[in-house]
Amino acid sequence: MSDVMNWSLSGSAAASALVLGYLLGSIPFGIILTRLSGGPDLRSIGSGNIGATNVLRTGNKKLAALTLLGDMLKGTAAVLLAAALLGGREAGLVAGLGAFLGHLFPVWLRFKGGKGVATFLGILIALKGSIALVFAALWLSIAYLTR
């Protein structure tokens, strides 16, 4: 498959992809999962972040892993759904941007979201798996060296 795109996406398809991605990206899996398990509000502990690392600070490794998976999958799902429903790879890229922005600035949380690392990784998985592997290895290396 060629990596060259012709950007023939219509304005309405691009807007739809952006909104679809944003709505999927704005799902705060960390908050939802910790609330369902009876845990504290993530925004009141640790870094105050809504992502998997802060869920891990609650001591629940299983919830942290589920949060990581959910945050990755929302990025992947946004790209794949938009590509399938709205016009191919270009729509997927736009939806990926929307998902990333949705995670960073979720309307449901007064635009105070997470850092977007897992969501970005999910987007990369959908767009180009080999790049996702390089990104994940780099991120894990930096995390290991700085902790």
% of the chain beyond a pLDDT of 90: 63
Query: For residue 133, what pLDDT band results from cuts at 50, 70 and 90?
Result: confident
CA–CA gap between residue 20 and residue 84 (Å, rounded) = 12
What is the per-residue pLDDT for 1?
44
- Tokens for 119? 């969501």
80-129 tens-digit pLDDT? 999 999 988 999 999 999 999 999 999 999 999 999 999 999 999 999 88
Could you tell me if 88 and 108 are in contact, meaning their C-beta atoms sit under 8 angstroms apart? no
Domain extents in the chain: 11-145
Residue 132 pLDDT? 82
Query: Which pLDDT score is estimated for 55?
Result: 92
Mean pLDDT in residue range 73-78: 98
Mean pLDDT of all residues belonging to the chain: 90
Q: Where are the alpha helices (DSSP H) in the chain?
A: 11-25, 29-36, 52-56, 61-86, 89-104, 117-127, 129-145
